[in-house]
Amino acid sequence: MTAKGIRDRVAIVGMGCTRFAEHWDKSVDDLLVDAVTACVDSVEDLALEDVEAFWVGTKDSGQSGMMLSHPLKLDYRPVTRVENFCATGSETLRNACYAVASGAYDVAMAVGVEKLKDSGLSGLTIGAPPNDGTAPEMTPPAMFSLLAPAYAERYGVDPAQLKEVLSRIAHKNHLNGELNPLAQFRKAPSLETIAGAPAIAGMLGVYDCSGVADGAAAAIVVAAEDAHRYTERPMYVKALALASGPAEGAMRADYDYTTFPEVVRSAEEAYRQAGIADPRAEISLAEVHDCFTPTELVLMEDLGFSERGTAWRDVLDGVFDLDGELPVNPDGGLKSFGHPVGASGLRMQYELWLQFRGEAGERQLERPTVGLTHNLGGQPGGCVSFVSVMGAERDPS
């Protein structure tokens, strides 16, 4: 089953992103007003009144389209609230892109928001509908920590060596976050501090976990042929792929917790839509779902950046560092930028947007042309996975 895709049919012409942080003095409404206003202000000759339809995403911080239309007074325009676990932000963009590609709207907006810090709880929670009380209740770090011993076992990596690899991933993302004024954590802990932190779950310490933050981000989508009316440097949508798993890993013994089949499928689909044959060579930068350090390790293989069983070596060799062969999470990732669930997918796009425009400041890469975002919700064994490919240029056709 393959989708036709909408390669080069729509473009992002404006974006806004709040700082991701413990915003004790801001409400969900405040964050939405901040992100939407910044997004609109990023486009000359465009007012909020020009946006014809909206998709707003949050996992738990609001309900229905009114969570956006009310604070921003979007008088009687269509707003849809979407939710797809931690891939929610990407889902808003996917829907807005399809709306424009269909011709139904000329200008659409994708908005994502999450306010996690008001709960007073540690980490993310999953509110379940009324149930029979039998669902395994694992904390998110516990779910993702399952990857580490499985990876070590399958590829014969010494657990101490693997711990070093995981710490290296956290350290890289923290170093990148130091260069990002919007990131939650702007001071990188030392490798020793990361490696020596008390255990949270399995091999994971507190520095192996993404930042729990409040934040919002937004993007304006128009038809590709209209894009230059709004900006000289639009970001073109090359591929949007989503895979929702049957959760067979949780039920079948042949799943070994060293991969996300959903990521493999969504990546294959995105590369097909975008016409990418060699992702490691063709992609300039990638923003991936580093919710926990072993996730980023496994993603390098699932996304085709590393051969199976070799990502840990590539991590140690600096392949994914800011100055490496394929920079991964140059903005600091979920680890350092923070992970306000509904906003994260759009925050990833925001980094591509800045990098393509040469506006990434101290972490600016040299002339990036193709970017990938990967956003995942769920857990090893059963998840939703989103992969997008974006381009600085529209292919001649």
Partner 1 sequence: MQGLLACGTYVPRFRLPRAEIRAALGSGPGSGCRAVAASDQDSTCLAVEAARRALAGRDPVATGVLLATSSPVYAERTNATAIHAALDLGQDGSALDLGASPRSGIGAFLAAARSPHPTVAVLADLRDGLAGSADEAFGGDAGAALLFGRGDPIAELLGEASVTHEFMDRWRAPGEPFATVWEERFGAGVYAELVERAVVAALADAGVERADRVVVTSPQRRAAAAAGKRLGAAASWIDEEVGYTGAADLGLRLADELAAAKAGETVLLVSAADGADAVVLGVRRPAPPPAETAATPRREISYPTYLTWRGRLDREQPRRPDPDKPASPPASRNARWKFGFVGTECEACGTVHLPPQRVCLSCHAVDRMRKRPMREARGTISTFTVDHLAPSPDPPTVDVVVDFDEGGRFSCRLTEADADAVRIGDRVEMTFRRLFEFDGVSDYFWKARPLLEGEG
Q: φ, ψ for residue 200 (rounded to 5)?
A: -100, -50
Q: C-beta of 312: minimal distance to partner 1 in Å? A: 17
The CA-to-CA distance between both ends of the chain, in Å, stands at 25
Alpha-carbon distances of 373 from 38, 190, 377, 391, rounded to whole Å: 22, 27, 14, 11
Within positions 148 to 187, which residues make up the interface with partner 1, using CB under 8 A?
Answer: 149-150, 153
Does 195 sit near partner 1 (CB under 8 A)? no
Residue 291 catalytic? Answer: no
Does 274 sit near partner 1 (CB under 8 A)? no
Does 213 sit near partner 1 (CB under 8 A)? no
Does 198 sit near partner 1 (CB under 8 A)? yes
Does 189 sit near partner 1 (CB under 8 A)? no
Please report, for the chain, how many H helices and E strands are present, in that order.
13, 11
Q: C-beta of 295: minimal distance to partner 1 in Å? A: 14
CA dihedral 85, 138, 291, 320 (to 10 degrees): -130
The interface region with partner 1, picked from 27-35, 124-132, 230-238, 330-338 by CB under 8 A, is 124-132
Tell me the site size for partner 1, rule CB under 8 A: 38
Does 309 sit near partner 1 (CB under 8 A)? no
Does 358 sit near partner 1 (CB under 8 A)? no
Does 41 sit near partner 1 (CB under 8 A)? no
Residue of 23, 289, 339, 374 marked catalytic: 339
Q: C-beta of 366: minimal distance to partner 1 in Å? A: 40
Pick one of 27, 38, 71, 123: the residue that binds partner 1 (CB under 8 A).
123
Task: State which residue, 133 or 396, has the beta carbon closest to partner 1.
Answer: 133
Instruction: Give the DSSP H/E element, type plus range, for residue 100.
Output: helix 88-101
Task: State which residue, 130 or 156, has the beta carbon closest to partner 1.
Answer: 130
118-121 contacts: CB < 8 A, separation 24 or more? 118/214
Nearest to 173, CA basis, from 215, 214, 122, 207 = 207
Residue of 86, 209, 291, 383 marked catalytic: 86
Distance CA 332, CA 321 (A): 11
Task: State which residue, 120 or 396, has the beta carbon closest to partner 1.
Answer: 120
Write down how long the chain is.
397
Does 130 sit near partner 1 (CB under 8 A)? yes
The interface region with partner 1, picked from 27-35, 76-84, 125-133, 220-228 by CB under 8 A, is 125-133
CA dihedral 206, 209, 210, 213 (to 10 degrees): -40
Q: How many CB atoms lie within 10 A of CB 340?
A: 32
Does 240 sit near partner 1 (CB under 8 A)? no
The interface region with partner 1, picked from 61-69, 80-88, 137-145, 235-243 by CB under 8 A, is 137-145
Here the tokens at position 86 are: 């931690």
Sequence-ordered list of residues with C-beta below 8 angstroms from that of 141, at least 6 positions apart, any chain: 123, 200, 201, 202, 204, 208, 209, 292
Pick one of 49, 118, 225, 248: the residue that binds partner 1 (CB under 8 A).
248
Distance CA 196, CA 207 (A): 9
The interface region with partner 1, picked from 76-84, 121-129, 316-324, 327-335 by CB under 8 A, is 121-129
Does 397 sit near partner 1 (CB under 8 A)? no
Pick one of 145, 244, 259, 336: the residue that binds partner 1 (CB under 8 A).
145
Burial of 70 (0-12, 13-18, 19+ CB in 10 A): middle
Nearest to 189, CA basis, from 201, 204, 207 = 207
Active site residues: 86, 339
Interface with partner 1 (CB under 8 A): 119-123, 125, 128, 130-134, 136-139, 141-142, 145-146, 149-150, 153, 198-202, 246, 248, 250-253, 255-257, 381
